[in-house]
A and B are shown apart, each in its own frame.
Chain A
Amino acid sequence: MTRYRVSPNALAASLSDGVVLLNLQTNRYFSLNETGTRVWNLLSCATPRSEIVATLAREYAVSEEEAGRTVLALLDELAGEQLIEAIEARS
């Protein structure tokens, strides 16, 4: 089961229209839209990836396949920017 943790170099600001992320290591910063913010809030609570996908599919009334593509693309991007780290754990 894959979970994520926020990188120690990442700072996050929760705002009324989304989240702004700053990486102190790379000096790059990003803003997340509504969906990205929902994913960020879930992963920040160590929610397993499969549960993040299921939650988004339910809340946005889309298939798990479609939600999975969106979530994986975002998680890959966040990991590529060293804002999150994957934690592999046995279920």
Chain B
Amino acid sequence: MTRHWQLGAVLAESGAEETVLRHLGSPAALHVVGGRLRAGAGYAAAPREARRELARTGAILRLRTRGAYVLHASGAVAPNGSAWILTGDSGSGKSTLAFALARHGWRVLGDDGVVIRIDNTGRSMAFGWRDPLRMSCSLFPVFPELVPLEPLVDERDPRRRVPVNAPFAAGAPVAGCVFLERGEHDGATRLAETEVMAKLIAQSPWVLIPDAHARDHFDALRQFAVGVPCWRLMNTERQLHHISATLEGLLS
């Protein structure tokens, strides 16, 4: 049986042996066969953004076959070796706060994606998805060390971001997770497991792909929700300088 599904601009047909990914905006196709990616018709000639989106989805599917699941999140590893996941909707401050942590000696796990794996003791581990952080140039007054990067501003990006290379972490056990929301006040609220699970589904939407890996993906999110303490973190600009202490304070 072939299953049809769509996430973002990627349309897919999943069969028993192969998934074919197509892009809504161009005729490009990418095949995922046995966890390997193979360019299909129109892929080489497709616009860069379409190829990038197909390749990212293909890589996420490939990881999924190996028990590793991508969360739409940034993350960082503290000097003590424990990882924090920063997740939330676009514009909630994921990249900015990951950079703010890097300034305090933390190592970054990713900008827009972090890979989660449950180890054989049931512990949630986080691994990096090596994209550079993309920082809005509106933050130049707060982080003056970014000013020399101004020529790298992507003018097609409405948020006018620049790529920033911060020290990367390979992987670490997850100590906690915050679901970020911009607010007028700083404040953290511990979330119940059902709230966490619902939020994790939203931030790891590939769990909705109705294939043979959906059940394992769903169970990995469940184990994360049960094993990792999670908070809703309303954040203001104050966190640009205090996020490290805020996260450490949540566990104390």
Contact = CB atoms under 8 A, between A and B. Distances in A.
A81 to B, nearest CB: 15
Contacts of A27: 208
A15 B208 CA distance: 19
B246 interface: no
Dominant secondary structure at the A interface: strand
B197 A15 contact: yes
Interface residues of A, number: 16
Dominant secondary structure at the B interface: helix
Q: Which has the most chain B C-beta neighbours within 10 Å: A19, A27, A31?
A: A27
Given A13-B221, A13-B225, A15-B222, A20 B208 contact: no
Interface in A1-43: 9, 11, 13-20, 22, 24-25, 27, 29, 31
B194 A31 contact: yes
Contacts of A11: 214-215, 218
B193 A22 contact: no
B226 interface: yes
Given A20-B197, A22-B201, A13 B192 contact: no
A22 B210 contact: no
Interface string B55-99: 000000000000000000000000000000000000000000000
Interface of A: 9, 11, 13-20, 22, 24-25, 27, 29, 31
18 contacts: A11-B215, A13-B197, A13-B218, A13-B221, A15-B193, A15-B226, A17-B192, A17-B194, A18-B192, A18-B193, A20-B194, A20-B197, A20-B198, A20-B201, A22-B218, A24-B214, A29-B201, A31-B198
